């Protein structure tokens, strides 16, 4: 395969090996210096060997790749040109780093002779992501002599795949994350592609087979709780059940189900009869949604066991953890005293039920067994009632099933979901590595597209977010021409600004006008016009009846705006 351009030959070799190893999705942004990579990606799509996604904005492209990787579990590739294009990937790289999501960033760059002399669109790109990448390599401009040895694209691809998948040992075994390949290209920057290499046989995608993690043995003990933070996984639920301990599982933990689930864990952790009596805490994942969990783990007299997750740092508030483990196993029977877990579970259910603000329907049936007029009146009034935050999260939770996906933005609503929804074994994804609102739309689009790819049952990806979260990345609504349309509903709780800050202490001490302007940041955006500009459907749901109809209606792409009170 000779194209007459070392840039093109290198790009084809690099992408071919990444695709052979297991990469499925390629995200490309337009740019001159990266044209060889972009055109090669297009050829692999034409040959049905890759899924190609083209985006204009590099920040959105980075988060799209993040969502694709988070859903699929395999590294996704994002390609950009040089200059500020690279810097725009930094938010997605940071989230991938802290959340342990495999991501391969490939950036085009100038060769050494054009660096440091004021060349256009040229800056220091190698090392730009600092410690946030598992592996980084500055690759000299390909030439006819650089196709073998350490500079060969196949070897570089294997190194990148290994590090992104968590097999490099840079941080800890099995900790996936982002990697950065910065590739210099000399002119000619590309050439016509005559043919793609045949699919090579031999090596299969890297796995963790042979990497044994010695588990920490746990036995049942009085006053134990199991805490499941973001991406904790089903192991947390199984451990709580085996120990006979209450399960305090955040909504994006992957463990929000089972008989030991305690949904109202915040309230109970603040109660001396519950949180005040905890003596041991087993922590999975990365808890981020409450102040009560870190307060518990900083307290004297609580023996904390941290089960290491996918991120680069151990969760250890107050640096008080007593033990760290890569895995745990339970030995012996569960706690014989079922009153401990029973009181947590039953009290939690009572608290959640008492907090329900749904209109009460208590009219009796008619004497002859038919539905009474009063019952009909109360039911109709309930359906026409305005949507509250509680009603919104309840409706979205009820409408989502195992073949669907639920993506939660970092807004006030994710905390409302976490506070009240019951157990349900569904896939919930949220960018909680750094818990920012960056790129939520593109992350969700990536999740939707990856979940649809080859699926036997076409589910819907529902995205619950606040108005500012959508306004932070409207560019994520721009979908590539000729690409698969995601089955996605963006459900936007619009209360006219960042009301999540109302709960901060500063809200009670600052000047109301100043607080409103610089913290709440109110707006008057018309979401219907925004949807029309990007070719999305639009629905406005002001009552519970309208909301239920929207959630079970069009799979999208659709924006469902739900006005909420301050």
Judgement on whether residues 344 and 412 belong to the same structural domain of the protein: no
Cα 91 to Cα 66, 86, 94, 214, 551, distances in angstroms: 11, 11, 5, 35, 31
User: CA 405 to CA 501: how far, in whole Å?
Assistant: 28
Peptide bond into 135 cis (omega under 30): no
Residue 1 lies in a domain: no
Judgement on whether residues 407 and 476 belong to the same structural domain of the protein: yes
Judgement on whether residues 259 and 122 belong to the same structural domain of the protein: no
Q: List residues bridging with 216 in a β-sheet.
A: 328
> Which helix (H) or strand (E) is 139 found in, with range?
strand 135-139
User: CA 63 to CA 431: how far, in whole Å?
Assistant: 10
Q: Pick from 163, 184, 205: which residue ends a domain?
A: 184
User: CA 376 to CA 279: how far, in whole Å?
Assistant: 51
CA end-to-end span of the chain: 63
Residue 373 lies in a domain: no
Q: How many domains does the chain have?
A: 3
Helix-, strand-, coil-residue percentages of the chain, each rounded to 5:
35, 15, 45
> Which helix (H) or strand (E) is 195 found in, with range?
none
Judgement on whether residues 220 and 288 belong to the same structural domain of the protein: yes
User: Would you mind telling me the total number of residues written for the chain in this entry?
Assistant: 566
Query: What was the pLDDT predicted at 9?
Result: 95
Query: What was the pLDDT predicted at 116?
Result: 83
Judgement on whether residues 395 and 346 belong to the same structural domain of the protein: no
Spans in the chain with pLDDT lower than 70: 1-3, 145-151, 168-174, 200-213, 360-370
Judgement on whether residues 281 and 172 belong to the same structural domain of the protein: no
Query: What was the pLDDT predicted at 194?
Result: 85
Segments forming the whole domain that contains residue 335 = 216-354
Judgement on whether residues 434 and 534 belong to the same structural domain of the protein: yes
Q: List residues bridging with 304 in a β-sheet.
A: 281
Residue 196 lies in a domain: no
Give the pLDDT confidence of 41-100 residue by residue, as tens digits: 999 999 999 999 999 999 999 999 999 999 999 999 999 999 999 999 999 999 999 999
Judgement on whether residues 12 and 158 belong to the same structural domain of the protein: yes
Judgement on whether residues 170 and 236 belong to the same structural domain of the protein: no
Query: What was the pLDDT predicted at 146?
Result: 53
**pTM (2 d.p.):** 0.93
Could you tell me if 230 and 430 are in contact, meaning their C-beta atoms sit under 8 angstroms apart?
yes
User: CA 92 to CA 84: how far, in whole Å?
Assistant: 14
Q: Pick from 184, 208, 224: which residue ends a domain?
A: 184
Residue 530 lies in a domain: yes
CATH of the domain at 137: 3.40.50.970
User: CA 515 to CA 270: how far, in whole Å?
Assistant: 29
Residue 195 lies in a domain: no
Residue 253 lies in a domain: yes
Non-local CB neighbours of 375 within 8 Å, separated by 6+ positions:
361, 363, 364, 365
CATH of the domain at 314: 3.40.50.1220
Residue 206 lies in a domain: no
Q: Pick from 184, 208, 241: which residue ends a domain?
A: 184
Judgement on whether residues 150 and 18 belong to the same structural domain of the protein: yes
Query: What was the pLDDT predicted at 231?
Result: 95
Tokens at 416, concatenated: 């409302």
Cα 142 to Cα 2, 10, 43, 198, 524, distances in angstroms: 14, 6, 20, 21, 51
User: CA 45 to CA 478: how far, in whole Å?
Assistant: 20
Query: What was the pLDDT predicted at 209?
Result: 42
- In 73-133, where does DSSP find H-type helix? 84-87, 90-99
Residue 368 lies in a domain: no
Judgement on whether residues 428 and 559 belong to the same structural domain of the protein: yes
Give the pLDDT confidence of 537-565 residue by residue, as tens digits: 999 999 999 999 999 999 989 999 999 98
Sequence-ordered strand ranges (E) for 421-468: 427-429, 461-466
Sheet holding 323-325, edge to edge: 247-249, 224-228, 280-284, 303-307, 323-325
What one-character DSSP code corresponds to residue 491?
Answer: E
Judgement on whether residues 548 and 424 belong to the same structural domain of the protein: yes
Query: What was the pLDDT predicted at 211?
Result: 46
């Amino acid at each position: 395969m000779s194209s007459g351009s070392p840039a093109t030959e290198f790009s084809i070799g690099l992408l071919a090996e990444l695709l052979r190893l297991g990469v499925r999705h390629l995200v490309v942004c337009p740019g001159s210096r990266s044209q060889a990579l972009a055109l090669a990606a297009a050829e692999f799509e034409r040959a049905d060997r890759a899924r190609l996604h083209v985006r204009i904005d590099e920040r959105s492209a980075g988060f799209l790749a993040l969502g694709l990787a988070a859903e699929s579990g395999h590294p996704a590739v994002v390609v950009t040109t040089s200059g500020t294009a690279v810097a725009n990937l930094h938010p997605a790289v940071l989230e991938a780093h802290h959340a342990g999501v495999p991501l391969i960033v490939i950036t085009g760059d100038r060769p050494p002779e054009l660096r440091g002399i004021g060349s256009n669109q040229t800056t220091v790109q190698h090392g730009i992501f600092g410690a946030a990448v598992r592996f980084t390599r500055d690759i000299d401009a390909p030439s006819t002599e650089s196709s073998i040895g350490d500079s060969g694209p196949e070897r570089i691809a294997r190194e990148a795949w290994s590090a992104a998948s968590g097999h490099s040992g840079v941080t800890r075994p099995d900790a996936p994350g982002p990697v950065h390949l910065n590739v210099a290209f000399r002119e000619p920057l590309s050439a016509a592609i005559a043919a793609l290499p045949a699919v090579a046989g031999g090596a299969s995608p890297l796995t963790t087979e042979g990497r044994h993690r010695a588990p920490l043995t746990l036995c049942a003990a009085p006053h134990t709780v199991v805490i499941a933070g973001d991406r904790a996984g089903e192991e947390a639920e199984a451990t709580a059940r085996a120990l006979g301990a209450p399960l305090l599982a955040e909504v994006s933990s992957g463990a929000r189900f089972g008989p030991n689930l305690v949904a109202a864990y915040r309230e109970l952790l603040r109660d001396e009869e519950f949180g005040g009596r905890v003596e041991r805490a087993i922590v999975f994942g990365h808890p981020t949604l409450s102040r009560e969990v870190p307060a518990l783990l900083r307290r004297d007299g609580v023996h904390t066991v941290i089960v290491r997750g996918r991120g680069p740092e151990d969760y250890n508030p107050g640096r008080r953890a007593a033990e760290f483990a890569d895995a745990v196993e339970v030995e012996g029977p569960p706690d014989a005293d079922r009153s401990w877990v029973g009181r947590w579970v039953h009290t939690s259910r009572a608290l959640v039920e008492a907090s329900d603000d749904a209109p009460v329907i208590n009219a009796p049936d008619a004497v002859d067994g038919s539905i009474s007029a009063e019952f009909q009146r109360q039911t109709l009034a309930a359906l026409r009632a305005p949507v509250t935050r509680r009603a919104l999260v309840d409706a979205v939770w009820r409408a989502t099933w195992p073949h669907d996906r639920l993506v939660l933005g970092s807004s006030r609503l994710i905390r409302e979901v976490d506070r009240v929804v019951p157990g349900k074994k569904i896939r919930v994804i949220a960018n909680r590595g750094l818990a920012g609102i960056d790129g939520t739309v593109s992350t969700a689009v990536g999740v939707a597209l990856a979940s649809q790819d080859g699926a036997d049952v076409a589910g819907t990806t529902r995205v619950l977010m606040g108005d500012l979260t959508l306004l932070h990345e409207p560019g994520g609504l721009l979908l590539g021409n000729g690409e698969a349309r995601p089955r996605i509903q963006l459900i936007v709780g619009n209360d006219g600004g960042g009301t999540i800050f109302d709960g901060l202490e500063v809200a009670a001490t600052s000047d109301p006008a100043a607080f409103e302007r610089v913290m709440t940041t109110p707006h008057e955006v018309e979401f219907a016009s925004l949807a029309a500009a990007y070719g999305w459907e639009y629905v406005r749901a002001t009552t519970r009846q309208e909301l239920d109809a929207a959630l079970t209606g069009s799979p999208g792409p659709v924006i469902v705006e739900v006005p909420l009170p301050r």
